[in-house]
Amino acid sequence: MKTQEYIALEEQYGAHNYHPLDVVIQKAEGVWVTDVEGNRFLDCLAAYSAVNQGHCHPAIRKAFIEQADKVTLTSRAFRNDQLPLLYKALHDMTGFEMSLPMNSGAEAVETAVKAARKWGYKVKGIPEGKAEIICATDNFHGRTTTIVSFSTDAQYRDGFGPFTPGFPIVKYGDINSLKAAINPNTAAFLVEPIQGEAGIVVPPEGYLKEAARLCKENNVLLICDEIQAGLGRSGKMFAFEYDNIRPDMVIIGKALSGGFYPVSAVLSSKEVLGVFKPGDHGSTFGGNPLAAAVACAALKVLKDEKLIERSFELGNYFMGKLRAIKSKHIAEVRGRGLWIGFVLDTKARPYCERLMKEGILCKETHENVIRFAPPLVITKEEIDWACERIERVVLSLD
């Protein structure tokens, strides 16, 4: 079948909740994907950072297949021999006392929200039904009805109310706005250390450090959503490390499976995750042996291949080359690690379409930002190859 035939099927029988570029991918390896016509593209989105380890990484694939031959799902009604190893690996790699596994990122965010509220009532002593979790403007934490209740993006909310109460909004990056919102009923502050979907927005220097201090002073949990920023994308294991802080809860997902399978988790302390008693919360697939085996392998690849250090170094290299492009439409090049927001003063979609013709796949976010976030296994030569084409496209549209 040809590209147009696949697209026709999708348009006719699938809900139109996405507007994908018209490329139909058939296979992928490392940073490269191949479409049904045999065209090759450099993937500069990496499935929104779920394939930090590169597409179809052989070591993760091996773990996936070996585990699929043994047992894939036990449910948490019984124990399995893979989940304990994931708990240990997460503890050893991150230093957090405990974790709670889920599947999608949004489910892990929901888990963190439930943990924070319950902690607020049972430990902090907030009166029943009054707990507040402060969120930031332009946040992205997923798509459930509770999560879109604290989105400030009109489209994410339109038509989906009534909304879940209890989520005051403060201005991202503005410490005084946070200070003013904290009150005795505040259980937590939920924040992305760098906002991904908002366009790779890095907050002002010292913001997170001061937020952490305020949270501590007021007995408020600091929850960092590292689903996109974490696991090497920002050039550190976690983006919060740039501010030398230690959040009370960290939410991870996406690259936790290297793209093989939805795996997410909440990392925290015994004090916080200890609020969950048997039966309080759960998921049929959460913590299944296939997910655990894949996640252990995905974490091991990050470490063995030094992908976090690589992201830091090559991110600076990539950003430097992008900043050297002289175009009247480039407003800013920002980011950390291999997570770059290429900000234009005009619509980004035509650029993405032209880049696709040149063999580079990337996606606009918020109209005028192109996100360059290739798998972390990308080489310097591949970055050079990409920059040559990016420059050509940008200058042709000047």
User: What is the set of active-site residues?
Assistant: 140, 225, 254
The verdict on 109 binding ligand PLP (CB under 6 A) reads: yes
140 binds ligand PLP (CB under 6 A): yes
For residues 283 and 394, which CB has a smaller minimum distance to ligand PLP in the complex?
A: 283
Nearer to ligand PLP, 170 or 394 (CB): 170
CB nearer to ligand PLP: give 40 or 160. 160
CB of 397 to ligand PLP, least distance (A): 28
Instruction: Give residue 397's Cα distance to chain centre.
Output: 31
Selected from 30, 54, 101, 105, the binder of ligand PLP by CB under 6 A is 105
List, as own/partner pairs, every contact residues 321-327 make where C-beta atoms lie below 8 angstroms and the sequence separation is at least 24, other chains included: 321/383, 321/384, 321/387, 322/372, 322/387, 322/390, 325/387, 325/390, 325/391, 325/394, 325/395, 327/394, 327/395, 327/398
The reply to whether 311 sits near ligand PLP by the rule CB under 6 A is no
Measured from the CB atom, the residue of 106 and 222 that comes closer to ligand PLP is 106
Cα 252 from Cα 102, distance rounded (Å): 10
> Does residue 295 interact with ligand PLP by CB under 6 A?
no
Residue 384 CB, nearest approach to ligand PLP (Å): 28
CB of 218 to ligand PLP, least distance (A): 24
In angstroms, what CA-CA distances link 74 with 14, 80, 88? 31, 7, 19
Of how many residues is the chain composed?
398
Residue of 328, 326, 338, 332 lying closest to 382 (CA atoms):
338
* Near ligand PLP by CB under 6 A: residue from 30, 54, 101, 142: 142
In terms of CB distance, is 197 or 382 closer to ligand PLP? Answer: 197
Residue nearest to ligand PLP (CB): 105
The distance from CA 47 to its chain's CA centroid, rounded to whole angstroms, is: 10
Helices within the chain (DSSP H only): 3-13, 46-49, 58-68, 83-94, 105-119, 145-149, 154-157, 175-181, 207-217, 270-273, 289-304, 307-323, 349-357, 380-396
Per-residue contact string for residues 230-259; x = within reach of ligand PLP by CB under 6 A: -----------------------x------
Q: Which residues bind ligand PLP (CB under 6 A)?
A: 48, 104-106, 109, 140-142, 192, 196-197, 225, 227-228, 253
